[in-house]
């Protein structure tokens, strides 16, 4: 007599259990853990869920407050003095084409022709950079603030065109902190690559 479909299925299940003895024990172990979890977090424990939500909300508010109150530093009084940009401070979070220390020095930008036209091209290039925000401009001088995306730290970035020459001096410095991990130098080098790619 041939076995029915129900009998064949039962037979297959018994064979599978006999071949994989750990499968049944794993299933029993998993079912034993469910009541433990239920005891830790009783079903319908509305008060516990409210406290959990309150804790998460308080944590998010704390992170937001920390982000809002992070020190960003006052805007320093910068600008050229006697035809030069300010030197870098003692802390290694600055890069400048006129730095007295070689480790912080970068090459100036080169331009040809009218300095007024060169400043216009430089301003358009910098204004298109989402990281930079122009805060001051006068003939031969541009000043920007670079705001980092996550922590919103502010760096001061300056550009000074030599009126009788063919160079643009540049400087980028962090307002707070000690080390910038090379961020200011990388910023100026990125601006240099974009500047050299702009047709004169």
Average of per-residue pLDDT across 170-185 = 94
Summarised one tens digit per residue, pLDDT across range 107-140 is 999 999 999 999 999 999 999 999 999 999 999 9
The whole-chain average pLDDT of the chain stands at: 79
Q: What is the assigned CATH class of domain 94-197?
A: alpha beta
Confidence of residue 3 (pLDDT cuts 50, 70, 90): low
Q: Are 105 and 94 a contacting pair, CB within 8 Å?
A: no
What is the rounded CA–CA span in Å between residue 164 and residue 161? 9
Please tell me which of 18-22, 60-64, 154-158, 163-167 the model is most confident about, judged by mean pLDDT: 154-158
Confidence of residue 16 (pLDDT cuts 50, 70, 90): very low
Neighbours of 99 (CB within 10 A): 17
For residue 152, the model assigns a pLDDT of: 80
pTM to 2 decimal places: 0.64
Q: Are strands 167-174 and 141-147 parallel, antiparallel or unpaired?
A: unpaired
For residue 42, the model assigns a pLDDT of: 57
Which residue ranges make up each domain of the chain? 5-68, 94-197
Long-range contacts (CB closer than 8 Å, 24 or more residues apart) made by 130-136:
131/187, 132/157, 135/75, 136/79
For residue 36, the model assigns a pLDDT of: 54
Please tell me which of 21-35, 66-80, 107-121 the model is most confident about, judged by mean pLDDT: 107-121
Q: Is 167 exposed, middle or buried (0-12, 13-18, 19+ CB in 10 A)?
A: middle
Looking up tokens 């100026």 gives 188
Summarised one tens digit per residue, pLDDT across range 53-68 is 767 866 654 444 444 4
DSSP 86-99: PPP-SSS-EEETT-
pLDDT at 46 over 70: no
């Amino acid at each position: 007599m041939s076995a029915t479909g129900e009998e064949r299925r039962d037979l297959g299940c018994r064979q599978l259990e006999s071949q994989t003895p750990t499968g049944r024990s794993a299933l029993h172990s998993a079912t034993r853990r469910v009541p433990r979890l239920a005891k830790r977090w009783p079903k319908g424990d509305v008060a516990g869920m409210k406290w959990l939500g309150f804790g998460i909300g308080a944590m998010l508010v704390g992170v937001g407050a920390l982000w809002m109150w992070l020190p960003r530093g006052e805007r320093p009084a910068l600008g050229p003095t006697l035809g030069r940009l300010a030197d870098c401070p003692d802390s290694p979070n600055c890069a400048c084409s006129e730095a007295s220390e070689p480790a912080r020095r970068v090459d100036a930008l080169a331009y040809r022709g009218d300095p007024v036209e060169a400043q216009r091209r430089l301003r358009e290039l910098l204004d298109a950079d989402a990281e930079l925000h122009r805060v001051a401009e006068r003939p031969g001088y541009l000043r920007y603030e670079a705001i980092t995306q996550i922590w919103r730290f502010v760096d001061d970035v300056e550009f000074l065109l030599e009126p009788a020459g063919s160079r643009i001096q540049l400087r980028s410095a962090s307002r707070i902190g000690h080390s910038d991990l090379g961020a200011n130098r990388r910023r100026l080098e990125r601006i240099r690559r974009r500047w050299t790619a702009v047709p004169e």
